[in-house]
Amino acid sequence: MSTPADPALPDPYLPGTGSDGYRVEHYDLDLECKLGGNHLSGTATISATAVHSLARIEFDLAGLKTVKASVNGRKAAFKVRGERLVLSPSQPVPAGERFTATIRYAGNPGPRNGPWGEVGWEELEDGVLVAGQPNGAATWFPCNDHPSQKATYRIAVATDADYRAVCNGELVDHARKASRERWVYEVREPMATYLATLQIGRYERWSLPADGEAVAGRHAAAVVLPAQILLAPAELKAEAEAAFADQPRMIATFSEAFGPYPFDAYAAVVTEDELEIPLEAHGVSIFGRNHLAPGWEQQRLIAHELSHQWFGNSLTAARLQDIWMHEGFACYAEWLWSEAAGQGSVESRARAAHAGLAAKPQDVAVGEPGAENMFDDRVYKRGALALHAVRLWLGDAAFFAMLRAWTQANRHGHVDYPRFAAHVDQAAGHAAGAEELMRPWLFARQLPPFPVSRP
Q: Does the structure show a pLDDT above 60 at 222?
A: no
Q: So what's the pLDDT on residue 209? A: 79
**Which tens digits make up the pLDDT trace of 274-289?**
999 999 999 999 999 9
What's the confidence (pLDDT) of residue 114?
A: 86
Answer yes or no: is pLDDT of 297 > 70. yes
Q: For residue 126, is pLDDT > 60? A: yes
Q: Is the pLDDT of residue 455 over 90?
A: no
User: Rounded distance, CA 367 to CA 373, Å?
Assistant: 11
pLDDT value, residue 159: 98
Report cis status (omega within 30 of 0) of the bond before 440.
Answer: no
Q: What is the pLDDT of residue 337?
A: 98
> Among 227, 206, 193, 248, which Cα is nearest to 29's?
193
pLDDT > 90 fraction of the chain, expressed in percent and rounded: 91
Cα 284 to chain center, whole Å? 9
Tell whether the model's pLDDT for residue 36 goes beyond 60: yes
Tell whether the model's pLDDT for residue 117 goes beyond 80: yes
Fold of the CATH domain 317-443: Neutral Protease; domain 2 (1.10.390)
Rounded mean pLDDT of 375-386?
98
- Report pLDDT digits (tens) over 154-196: 999 999 999 999 999 999 999 999 899 999 999 999 999 999 9
Confidence of residue 219 (pLDDT cuts 50, 70, 90): very low
CATH fold of 22-199:
Immunoglobulin-like (2.60.40)
Q: What is the pLDDT of residue 430?
A: 74
Separation of alpha carbons 330 and 308, rounded Å? 6
Q: What is the mean pLDDT of residues 327-340?
A: 98
Task: Please check the confidence at residue 224 and state whether its pLDDT lies above 90.
Answer: no
> Per mean pLDDT, which range of 237-246, 361-370, 404-413, 431-440 is the poorest?
431-440
Over residues 239-259, the mean pLDDT reads 96
Is residue 138 scored above 70 in pLDDT?
yes
Predicted pLDDT of residue 3: 45
Strand ranges of the sheet holding 117-124, from the earlier edge strand across to the other edge: 111-114, 117-124, 127-131, 198-201, 164-167
pLDDT of the residue at 432: 76
pLDDT at 211: 56
Cα 284 to Cα 163: distance, rounded to the nearest angstrom: 18
**Region 85-91 average pLDDT:** 97
Helices (H) and strands (E) in the chain, counts: 9, 23
Taking the model in full, what pTM does it have?
A: 0.95
The residues, ordered by sequence, that sit 6+ positions from 263 with a Cβ below 8 Å of its Cβ are 189, 226, 282, 283, 309, 313, 314
Q: Which CATH class is domain 205-309?
A: alpha beta
Cis peptide bond N-terminal to 449, omega within 30: no
Question: What confidence tier does 1 reach under pLDDT thresholds 50, 70, 90?
Answer: very low
Domain spans, the chain? 22-199, 205-309, 317-443
Backbone φ and ψ of 162, nearest 5°:
75, 10
Mean pLDDT of the chain: 94
